[in-house]
Amino acid sequence: MSAEDSRSRRDARLAAYEKLQAARPHLFANPPGAAFEILFDRADQDFVSEQGAAWARANGLPEEYGDIGVVYQDAYTMMVRDAVRFRTGDRGAYFRVCPAADGVAAAVLPVLDDGRVVLLRHFRHADRRWHWEIPRGFAEGEADGEETARREVGEELGCEVRDLVRLGTMVSDSGMTPGGGDVYLGLIDHREFEAVGDGPGKDEGIDAKKVVGADDLRSMIAAGEIDDSFTLTAYALAVAQGRLPGR
């Protein structure tokens, strides 16, 4: 690839980066005492890009792996590589994955009106495994957490939430992605849930639903049968707030 082509590619990625910064300035804050300062000066960004490109070439990888800016984007997510200054004064890069939409993601602990909890057996591509977990998902557009929560329950359980109780927020992986979403407890009419059957969610990788009591849910967590971070967070918040029996 020519130097002109490389410059054009870097310019495009930095233009997308500046657009993201203007739309979501909170993602680019440099608070007092921050351990890693994001660098916005083009000279610093070019230095870090060249540093990364040299490392990539030395390891037989495409030099574009060293680019700064929005290096990938689709309808759901974007991958951002920031130029940063460390506490040592050295310059380098940090990589993060940001949601494409500016709305609020959500996870919902579905509780039937008889006190039992609904779990989904969901296949996840990232680790190529099945997980017992609760409904959750990305926001669409600028949807708030409640709108996202209701949509996800409808898509994955096939029924409506009667009442939503906001439990709090969670950070899914602070080392890789900013934020995680709102966490809710959703109250569902057991007759409506039972009338739906197992159909909804099949196209999203869900092949089964399980209804468990509080003791069985606790036993599954203790035995390591549930390891999804959203489900564990929702359970911990619900028990801590006295919304589920726990000991």
Q: Are residues 58 and 119 in the same domain?
A: no
Which residues of the chain form beta strands (DSSP E)?
Answer: 37-38, 69-73, 77-85, 91-99, 106-112, 117-124, 129-133, 136-137, 163-171, 180-188, 206-212
Q: Are residues 79 and 129 in the same domain?
A: no
In a domain, 29, yes or no: yes
The length of the chain, given as a count of residues: 247
pLDDT in tens, 87-97: 999 999 999 99
CA 131 to chain centre: 16
Domain boundaries, position 230: 106-241
Q: Are residues 121 and 221 in the same domain?
A: yes
pLDDT in tens, 26-70: 999 999 999 999 999 999 999 999 999 999 999 999 999 999 999
- The domain boundary, picked from 43, 73, 99, lies at 99
At 245 the pLDDT is: 66
Here the CATH number for the domain that contains residue 142 is: 3.90.79.10
Confidence of residue 247 (pLDDT cuts 50, 70, 90): very low
Confidence of residue 246 (pLDDT cuts 50, 70, 90): low
Domain count across the chain: 2
In a domain, 247, yes or no: no
Q: Are residues 171 and 80 in the same domain?
A: no
In a domain, 246, yes or no: no
Q: Are residues 113 and 226 in the same domain?
A: yes
Q: Are residues 144 and 195 in the same domain?
A: yes
Q: Are residues 229 and 123 in the same domain?
A: yes
Q: Are 162 and 189 within 8 A, CB to CB? A: yes
pLDDT in tens, 169-196: 999 888 898 878 999 999 999 999 988 8
Query: What average pLDDT does the chain have?
Result: 93
Residue type, 153: V
Q: Are residues 118 and 175 in the same domain?
A: yes
Q: pTM above the 0.85 mark? A: yes
In a domain, 192, yes or no: yes
